[in-house]
Chains A and B, each alone.
Chain A
Amino acid sequence: MNHHDSPVTVDELHAYIDGELPADRQGAVSDWLAAHPQDAELVAAWRAQAESIRARYGGVASEPVPERLKLERLLQSGRRGSWTWRLVAAAAAVVTFLIGGGAGWVARGVSAAAPSSFEIFTADALDAYKLYVVEVRHPVEVGGDERAHMKQWLSKRIGYPLNVPELQSIGLKLVGGRLLPGPTGEAAAFYMYEGPSGERFTVYCARSHSPQTGLRYRDETRAAAFYWVEDNVAYVVSGPADRDRLKKVTRAVWEQVDGRKSS
């Protein structure tokens, strides 16, 4: 098998200038370029593009980092309304203490405090998950092949633009979605995804009274859920009780749903 003699492809020309070409093809490509001036010209043009891009923007990385992007500063305050944020965080800490520590200490097993939104949202989402995931014929109202229509319809019913995450890269296909009653009395959107061995994951989102929370995990015997709130929208990603796998799915969803108000 002589690697040197097989013809050079355009992909290899790109790989050549990007340092992605296997060592045993370097010689073949150099020889090819020496013999094919048109291709050599193309490669030179692409290299010149890369040079201009680096010349134009490379210097940005040596500029001093502006104050607002300093990490200490960001750790102290969120971007928008920093003082309200600290207040909310403080209040949340107190509530967490009361519900988690205080209530448990006062009366173990007795519901001394009202359930938190974390509990309400995850309970609703897990109920929906368990109910619809076993459906064979009617798991969703709108099929995944009508993604654009579904997005438009659910966004309209929910009252804010939704992003239907694309999870193909982690092997999950969109089955579709449906509208559900949400915990706050408003509508909730519900999407279902399916993996190669038929395992299903769902994303549940609805408006929340709290603006923002960190990520929390809840697990039951057969199902588990991750919950967080961002920009007043609560998200619950549910699936089989496999924390690592669910975290991977959650991360992929999380990466795609934010940014609604980012500009």
Chain B
Amino acid sequence: MAGFRQSVEATIPALRRYARALTRDSDAADDLVQDTLVRALRSEHLFHGGDVRSWLYTILTNLNRNRLRSLARRPLLSPIEDNDAPDMAGPEAGGRDIERALATLVEDQRSALLLVVLEGLSYREVAEIQGVPIGTVMSRLARARVQIKAYLDGERPMLRRVK
């Protein structure tokens, strides 16, 4: 099944991008991609037809959900909190704002938003990946956007006051 492997290979850069945004930690992200690829290659025969890319996103999304579940049992210091210096200005500031805003989301909302805006998937594809109806995807997206906006709106005035 050379075609299958080629499709898997072609998806690796996109999987890394999605995983990085999902975890906001480059090592954890690549671990996740590696586990996803190992699982996919080992169980190639479970894949029949359909879109390889969606299947890989499904595996990665599930692995990450399980990863967070096991992390929840341990105390966690995320790298974002480690260098939590206030952002002033400059091109980096916006990037860190959005990173923090994403960190405040519930996992399923974060994954829905990233699959749509970063990975460019359709609502239908995201529904299949998350195993929920399209309406649920839409409400996750809506809640994610409201939450991020509230976070960013709340953050900026505070920083201005500090200055």
| Chain A interfacial positions (CB closer than 8 Å to B) | 10-11, 14-15, 18, 20, 42, 45-46, 49-50, 52-58, 60-63, 65-66, 68-69, 71, 74-75, 78-79, 161, 163, 166, 168-169, 212, 214-215, 228, 247, 250-252, 254-256, 258-260, 262-263
Contacts and interface: CB of A to CB of B under 8 A. Distances in A.
Given A71-B8, A263-B70, A46 B145 contact: yes
Given A55-B95, A65-B13, A18 B148 contact: no
Given A68-B34, A255-B59, A214 B16 contact: no
A71 B5 contact: yes
Contacts of B80: none
Contacts of A212: 42
Interface size band for B: 35 or more
Nearest to A74: B37
Contact of A60 (B20, B34, B48, B102): B20
Given A58-B17, A78-B38, A255-B62, 4 more contacts: A56-B94, A71-B5, A215-B43, A263-B70
Contacts of A54: 117-118
13 contacts: A14-B145, A49-B145, A53-B21, A53-B98, A56-B21, A69-B34, A78-B38, A168-B131, A169-B131, A214-B45, A250-B46, A262-B63, A262-B70
Contacts of B70: 161, 259-260, 262-263
Nearest to A214: B42
A166 B45 CA distance: 22
B62 A79 contact: no
B29 to A, nearest CB: 8
What 6 A-B pairs have minimum CB-CB distances, sorted nearest first? A259-B66, A169-B131, A50-B117, A52-B98, A61-B13, A60-B17
A14 B141 contact: yes
A146 B46 CA distance: 30
B138 A52 contact: no
A69 B16 contact: yes
Contact of A215 (B46, B102, B113, B142): B46
B27 to A, nearest CB: 10
